[in-house]
Structure 1
Amino acid sequence: MSPTETEHQREGPSMPASPSEEDLLHSNLVPPGPSRSQRQYERIGEPAGTSFFQTLIHMLKGNIGTGLLGLPLAVKNAGLVLGPVSLLCMGFIAIHCMKLLVKCSSHLSERVNKPFLSYGEAMHVGLENVSWLRRLAPMGRWTVNLFLIITQLGFCCVYFVFLSDNIKQVVEAANSTTWDCQVNHTNQTEVGGQSFDSRIYMLFFLPAFILLVFTPNLKFLAPLSLLANLVMSFSLVLIYYYSVMNIQLPIDLPKIGKAKDYPLFFGMAIFAFEGIGVVLPLENKMQKPEGFRLVLYVGMGVVTFLYISLGTVGYMCFGDTIAGSITLNLPNCWMYQIVKLLYSFGIFITFALQFYVPAEILILPMVDRVSGRRLKIALDLFMRAMLVIFTCFLAVLIPELDLVISLVGSVSSSFLALIFPPLLELLTFHTDGLSPLVVIKNVVISVLGLIGFITGTYIAIMEIIARNNLPHNQNLTDHFMIQ
């Protein structure tokens, strides 16, 4: 799900790096351009920038991942009617907040005479724009960067859990898997024989992830990243097909879910919508940045449609047996086992792209402090390995896919996608005579994000504690997950 903007190796105010998948991938694929003082294409465009279609593809790529596959369970938590309606409302709010971020960044960059400001820099300059908050400007920048790190490491934890759950099903059901895709509407692939804890599979993948993040340059992963996008798209088509063709009629599902489960819906939904980090880098790299607003509307319109449609049909197909990822509900036949393998491959490659963000923010400053090329390389590889081990450790502590998604979404995505952008608009235009309606609107969005953060985090933590206290067999039955 969602990469962020880069602040590394830029001229301007002294601000720490905050790189992104999009920035890092582009920076390694596009030849070095003119100096920063000459690069005005962010506002006037140049041939080296991305086209409308390329930017649209990157927008879709930055918003579609594991979060999409968890939305059927999110709809279950909210209800068959309330869930899709809430996703639609959240989509409108998310698009609006993305537009606010682009608007504020452009306005503030002109004020400080820079062609581009990243998310962290925009918050820094925005706080400096208010005299009595000026001393808090560095703290605001670091707060944004902190939530970016939490979000990206959270994505990596989700990838550990996702891969372990899906590969576990494929491996342990291999002996009983056939080419006959019978519709049984069960919650998961039937596993015959001995079943191992999913944490063992996480440890099995750990060396592979460590070797993956040792890749010295993201341009080497570009072909694999393209292949990953293709196989994930193909897998989604098959998942849609199965879900639509096997909806059970009549549909007798609750229209409105339990109130105590709605915060879990919020966390999973905002986790899926948290693609705000790709907005500024993509706008910055367009040939014609003035066309980015159309990219935003079209791209996020498609994303919102995918979220609502898969969340709804997935829940209608599997009902109360829906798992933390809809792939875990697919039948025990080779076609859909291959779907799990293909999507898992895509997520595996995406891990390196998501990992680059916290690695560049946390590791690069430490490496720059040592001298000697060999020592720098050794320290860089060591720190990368330790950071991957740390994410694996967190995933082992919480091996529940739906709860990891909800917790990450509630803790960090709510701040980046809902709370910070409206506050940034208030900081940016506070001297320009904002209307009372605009102020009220921004305060309401931020307060809703804050309420979602508090309630979603609390409920997710309580659910994690409750599930860990359940007997192993009961946990399998009650939560439809093979652990």
Structure 2
Amino acid sequence: MKNDIKQNGQQQLETTQPAANEANADYDPHEHRNVKNPTTNLQTFAHFLKASIGTGVLAMPSAFANAGYVNGLVLTLVIGIIAVHCLHILINSMYELCKRKRVPYLTFSEAMTIGFQEGPPFLKCIVPIATPFVDGFLAFYHFGICCVYVVFVAESIKQIVDEHLTVLDVRIHMCFLLVPLFIIYSIRNLRLLAPFSSAANLLLLVGFGVILYYIFDDLPPISERKAVEDISKLPIFFGTVLFALEAVGVILAIEENMETPKAYLKPLGIMNLGMTIVLSIYVVLGFFGYWKYGDKALGSITLNIPQQEILAQITKILFAITTWISYALQGYVTANIIWNKYLQKRIKDTNKHVLFELLVRAAIVLLTFCCAVAIPDLSLFLSLVGAFCLSILGLIFPALLQICVQYHTGYGPWKIRLTKNLLLVAFGAFGGIIGTYVSIVEIVEAYK
């Protein structure tokens, strides 16, 4: 039966494909986009760096502590290259589907739904749930990032307040953050956030400079550190590095809002240049941070630098400010999905849309606060969110989408692209399952 379906589909495709290809060749989705507040290449580059360099980079020494400096160096580069490749095949596949359907833009979930419709027959059963499934994972992932950011900012403020005023539980500091978080989160478009991202990037450069100063001050012999850690710790490393490197929803959102989207995927385009900078920072901070602090590296390296020194305290404030700005950028995806895709159409009175969107955003801020209060351990939260969500969003879904998009056009000699994508699916599934399991076990152990 399956063979009959596939044969009939291929016969139908043979009669329509040439004409369809000619029509598709004349249609460029990029030229038909109508973006209200498009961002320039420079603004997009600033958003890309800010979206990709968050609290995850500060967790890299802790990640290396779960891998060893040799394993950490090699595996970070490998995971980084795989992550960038998956982003490329995801955006290229979405672009190809836009050409076929002659539409300016498809969201991630819409592209996955159409891909499953046009892909192998056995995947068609997923079509009815594809859109809410992908939207749900995207919204949950960026919601999880926001939870981590609440913890990070609260921890940074706590160290300074503990030193100069009084010792308070980190959860109390989270309460003080509710109003500032809602203020930044009430900014509803990326163009208005661009100046904040640019300022945050400058603060990050200063902060990284200070952290490297502390790291290189009196480095111990590297022989005191492990080149290769026990394999049982690698799942935590995998989840943390994935969390640090991937920001799928924001990366797609900033590409959607570009004035010149063709500049995004060029060989020397925004994504490749941005990820080269990001990966270099991650490797340097992870390698030398682990060299300096070893197994004592905490969930954020800012928690390792001296608490009493004024320079260190200023650095913690800088990172707290940049993370506060990043909260709005990462949370943009969650609010965009929940409000624009599912709730806005239910409110008939358009005059009340702004009010209701702000109420939705306030609810998201409150929920991230509640989750952060429940699990205030930064490193475990990082690993859980990274392993569970990003193995699916950043590895499995892009590979599946390309398999579906190329189903009728072919996978190249010896089906090499099919083999490659199946390996990506297997890698994402294995890493995600093991990483999620280990992270949950660690959280349960930590809070017994």
For the aligned pair, the TM-score class normalised by the smaller chain equals 0.7 to 0.9
Correspondence 1:467 to 2:446: yes
2:64/2:290 contact within 8 Å kept: yes
The residue type equivalent to 1:199 in the other structure is: R
Query: 1:277 and 2:213 equivalent?
Result: no
Give the aligned partner of residue 9 of structure 2: none
Q: Match for residue 298 of structure 2?
A: 323
8 Å contact 2:67–2:234 — kept in the other structure?
yes
Q: Are 1:66 and 2:55 an aligned pair?
A: yes
| Contact 1:283–1:292 (CA under 8 A) maintained in structure 2 | no
Tell me whether 1:304 sits opposite 2:279 in the alignment. Answer: yes
The secondary structure found in structure 2 opposite 1:81 is helix
**CA separation of 1:261/1:346 partners in 2, compared to 1, >3 Å: closer, same or farther?**
same
Describe the superposition over 1:370-428 as per-residue Cα deviations: whole angstroms up to 9, x where unpaired: 35467555544433322211111111111000011101101111111111111111111
Q: For 1:78, which of 64, 67, 92 is the aligned residue?
A: 67
Q: Secondary structure at the match of 1:97?
A: helix
SS of match in other structure, 1:394: helix
1:137 aligns with 127
In percent, how many aligned pairs have the same letter? 35
Distance 1:439 1:222, change over 3 A: closer
- Deviation sequence 1:196-253 (CA, Å, 0-9, x none): 2211111221233234333465655443333222212211222123213332125311
Aligned match of 2:382:
405
Distance 1:336 1:244 in 2: 14
**2:395 maps to amino acid:** L
Classify 1:111/1:322 alpha carbon distance in 2 versus 1 (closer, same or farther; 3 Å): same
Provide the C-alpha distance between the structure 2 equivalents of 1:273 and 1:324, rounded to a whole number of angstroms: 16
Q: Given that residues 44 and 288 in structure 1 are in contact (C-alpha distance below 8 angstroms), is that contact kept between their aligned partners in structure 2?
A: no
Does 2:76 correspond to 1:87?
yes
Query: Does residue 1:249 correspond to 2:225, yes or no?
Result: no
- Aligned residue among 325, 337, 340 for 1:361: 337
Provide the residue aligned with 1:153 in structure 2.
Answer: 143
Is residue 2:185 matched to residue 1:197?
no
RMSD: 2.7
Distance of 1:438 and 1:131 partners within structure 2: 15
| Rounded Cα–Cα distance in structure 2 between residues aligned with 1:169 and 1:441 | 47
Farther off after superposition, 252-261 or 205-214: 205-214
Other-structure match for 2:310: 334
Aligned partner of 2:237 among 244, 265, 273: 265
**Number of residue pairs matched by the alignment:** 413
Measured at CA, do residues 445 and 432 of structure 1 come closer, stay the same or move farther in structure 2, by a change above 3 Å?
Answer: same
Counterparts in 2 of 1:118 and 1:201: CA distance versus 1, 3 Å: same
Contact 1:105/1:122 (<8 A) preserved: yes
Shift of 1:278: 4.2
CA separation in 2, counterparts of 1:346 and 1:425?
35
Alpha-carbon separation, structure 2, partners of 1:245 and 1:157: 33
Matches within 5 A, 1:217-256: 220-256=192-228
Query: CA separation of 1:62/1:377 partners in 2, compared to 1, >3 Å: closer, same or farther?
Result: closer
Distance 1:51 1:276, change over 3 A: same
Contact 1:43–1:290 (Cα < 8 Å) also in 2: no
Paired residues of 2:156 and 2:320 also in contact (CA < 8 A): yes
Runs of 5+ in structure 1 lacking a partner? 1-38, 176-193, 470-483
Check 1:77–1:213 CA distance in 2 against 1; reply closer, same or farther (3 A cut): same
| CA deviations over 1:275-319 (Å, ceiling 9, x no partner) | 333444555525371662322332212211111111000111111
**Which of 392, 397, 407 does residue 420 from structure 1 map onto?**
397
Conservation of the 8 A alpha-carbon contact between 2:46 and 2:198: no
Distance 1:59 1:373, change over 3 A: closer
Shift of residue 352, structure 1, vs aligned partner: 1.9
Which structure's residues are more often helix, by fraction? 2
- 1:322 to 1:370, Cα distance in 2 relative to 1, 3 A: same
Aligned-partner Cα distance in 2 for 1:43–1:297: 22
2:260 counterpart residue number: 287
Q: Which of residues 341, 351, 354 in structure 1 aligns to 2:327?
A: 351
| Secondary structure in structure 1 of the residue aligned to 2:83 | helix
Displacement of 1:269: 0.4
Shift in alpha-carbon separation, 1:291–1:458, aligned structure 2, 3 A: closer
- 2:417 maps to 438
Corresponding residue SS for 1:446: helix
Indicate conservation of the 8 Å contact 2:29/2:105, yes or no: no
Secondary structure (helix, strand or coil) at the match of 2:410 reads coil
Any idea what SS the aligned residue of 1:165 has?
helix
- Report Cα offsets for 1:112-168 as digits up to 9, x if no partner: 112333322221221111363445334222222111101110111001110111110
Aligned residue number for residue 10 of structure 2: none
- Structure 1 position 169 matched with structure 2 position 142: no
Q: What secondary structure is seen at the aligned counterpart in 2 of 1:98?
A: helix
Q: TM-score, normalised by structure 1?
A: 0.79
Deviation at 1:466, TM superposition (A): 0.9
Query: Counterpart amino acid of 1:258?
Result: D
Return the letter of the residue paired with 2:105.
F
Q: Is this contact kept in 1: 2:220–2:292, CA < 8 A?
A: yes
Q: Distance in 1 between matches of 2:30 and 2:255?
A: 7
Distance 2:187 2:247 in 1: 24
User: Bigger shift: 298-307 or 130-139?
Assistant: 130-139
Q: Any conservation in 1 of the 2:112–2:401 contact (CA below 8 Å)?
A: yes
Cα 1:348–1:281 shift into 2, 3 Å:
closer
Aligned equivalents of 1:220, 1:281: Cα separation in 2: 14
Provide the rounded CA distance (Å) in 2 between the counterparts of 1:106 and 1:221.
26
Are the counterparts in 1 of residues 63 and 72 from structure 2 also a CA contact under 8 Å?
yes
Aligned to 2:20: none
**Conserved 8 A contact 1:42-1:286:** no
Asked if the contact 2:392–2:428 (Cα under 8 Å) also holds between the matched residues in 1, the reply is yes
Structure 2 vs 1, CA of residues 390 and 50 (structure 1 numbering), >3 Å: closer, same or farther? closer
Q: For 2:282, what is the secondary structure of its paired residue?
A: helix
Deviation at 1:267, TM superposition (A): 0.6
Partners of 1:224 and 1:278 lie apart in 2 by 15
Alpha-carbon contact 1:45-1:287 (below 8 Å) kept: no
